[in-house]
A = this chain, B = another copy of it.
C-alpha cells in the first residue's frame, strides 16, 4: 500500500469530535462546512485551530471575512453534520435550513443545541497544500444548555462516547 493510502487508513482510526465551521461571505451570506480536524490551541488566550480544505466556501471566505465559528455537535445533530458535509447536495445558504442558527459576536453562524460554540476572530492562517490551517482567537464561548452526548466520527462512521466505562481521567 502506498503512503497516502496508508495515511488515510491510519486516520480512519483517529476519533474526532464532529463540528461545523461557519463564516460569512462579503455580502453577509452564511457558509459552513463539517470538519473533524479541529482542536484547542491555548486556553490563555482562548484559541482554537481548524484545518479546512481551501476549495470549500469556508476555506475561501474565512481569510477574507476574518471570522469563523466552530460549532461542536451533539449526537442528535447528525443530519446537520451530513448536510454540511455536502451529503444532501445542498450548498451555500441552503444548508442553513437544517438546524436553528443564530449569531454571537463575530456574526458567524452559531448552531442552537450544539454542545459548545467557539466564536472566533481569525488570528492567522497557514496554507499547507490543499488545506488552510485557521488559528482563531476565541471572542466568545457559548456552552449548550444541555450536556448531550457528543457526535464522534471514527472508522468512516458516526458514533458517540460510551459513558459507562469512563474513569476520572487526567485533569
Residues of A within 8 A of B (CB): 3-4, 6-11, 13-17, 34, 36-47, 49, 51, 72, 75, 78, 81-82, 85, 87, 115-118, 123-124, 126, 128-131, 133, 135, 138, 140-144, 147, 150, 152-163, 165-171
Contact = CB atoms under 8 A, between A and B. Distances in A.
Count of chain copies? 2
Contacts of A15: 15-17, 150, 152, 161
A113 to B, nearest CB: 13
Contact of A42 (B40, B129, B158): B129
B42 A78 contact: no
6 contacts: A10-B72, A15-B161, A39-B39, A128-B135, A156-B168, A157-B167
Given A16-B17, A37-B41, A150-B154, 7 more contacts: A4-B44, A7-B141, A10-B117, A15-B17, A37-B39, A82-B170, A158-B169
A158 B150 contact: no
Nearest to A81: B170
Nearest to A124: B126
Contact of A43 (B7, B40, B163): B7
A45 B129 CA distance: 8
B46 A7 contact: yes
Contacts of A43: 4, 7-8, 11
> Which of A8, A126, A170: most chain B CB closer than 10 A?
A170
